Amino acid sequence: MTDIEKIMENLAKNVRKLRGNREKVGTATLKTRYRVAYDALLAEIKADAEAMARHILFGNLPFLDDTESNAFRRFLSESNRIIAEEAVVMKAYSASIFRSYDIDGAALLLMEKLEPRIRLEAYGLTYWLAHCSEREGRYYNDLIDSWWRPEHGYWERRENGWIQVSHMPPPTETLIRLEAWKYGRRTTSAGTLH
């Protein structure tokens, strides 16, 4: 079992416990008589929900060991900006878990509303593009050791007779901005999509 699977299993168990406690005992009693245990349960759910959100938003993005690079710093800054801009989405995410007890709905919300912005705006326009280069008239990305196939719109890597395909962001700012339009966002010259 992977770390994220353990986190998800623990989150599901604790959300079921939270729901059961609220239905059987009531929130007022939980906040008074069982305050210490109730607060500990809420804190554990919050920590697991944050870990799940980090996995959804960042878990599938490849990185090198260059956390001190300008590109990585720009990626973090843009990620924080987007998350702050999407406060309504983050509140809905929290409500799905703590009020509706719907972990799958919360995950889906982040995947639909926030993950594309993080992947394209924060990651694509900063960190990803810093690792794309033009070689032999084609685009190459060193993060995934792959070549861009513009006719198909994906990255391709050939190894031992096998073809591996990746649907990471395109290799240029223009193509990333075009892809962002799929998600109903308009681009600005500052590099952010609105």
Question: Among all chains, which residue has been given the structure tokens 């395909």?
Answer: 165
Query: What local confidence, expressed as pLDDT, does residue 39 receive?
Result: 97
**pTM, two decimal places:** 0.85
Query: What local confidence, expressed as pLDDT, does residue 57 receive?
Result: 96
pLDDT per residue as tens digits for the range 149-162: 999 999 999 999 99
Task: Report strand pairing: 154-159 vs 146-149.
Answer: antiparallel
pLDDT per residue as tens digits for the range 30-76: 999 999 999 999 999 999 999 999 999 999 999 998 889 999 999 99
Query: What local confidence, expressed as pLDDT, does residue 186 receive?
Result: 46
Closest to 153 measured CA to CA, from 137, 172, 136: 172
- What's the mean pLDDT in 140-148? 95
Q: How far apart are CA 183 and CA 173, in angstroms?
A: 16
Mean of the per-residue pLDDT values of the chain? 92
Query: What local confidence, expressed as pLDDT, does residue 188 receive?
Result: 41
Query: What local confidence, expressed as pLDDT, does residue 180 receive?
Result: 82
Contact 18, 101 (CB under 8 A): yes
List Cβ neighbours of 125 (8 Å cut-off, separation of 6 or more). 78, 173, 176, 191
Query: What local confidence, expressed as pLDDT, does residue 189 receive?
Result: 40
Contact 93, 152 (CB under 8 A): no
Confidence of residue 1 (pLDDT cuts 50, 70, 90): confident
Confidence of residue 184 (pLDDT cuts 50, 70, 90): low
- What's the mean pLDDT in 23-27? 95
Would you state the structure tokens that stand for residue 36, as one six-digit string?
Answer: 């210490």
Q: How far apart are CA 129 and CA 124, in angstroms?
A: 6
At residue 194, does pLDDT exceed 50?
no
pLDDT per residue as tens digits for the range 168-183: 999 999 999 888 887 7
Query: What local confidence, expressed as pLDDT, does residue 111 receive?
Result: 94
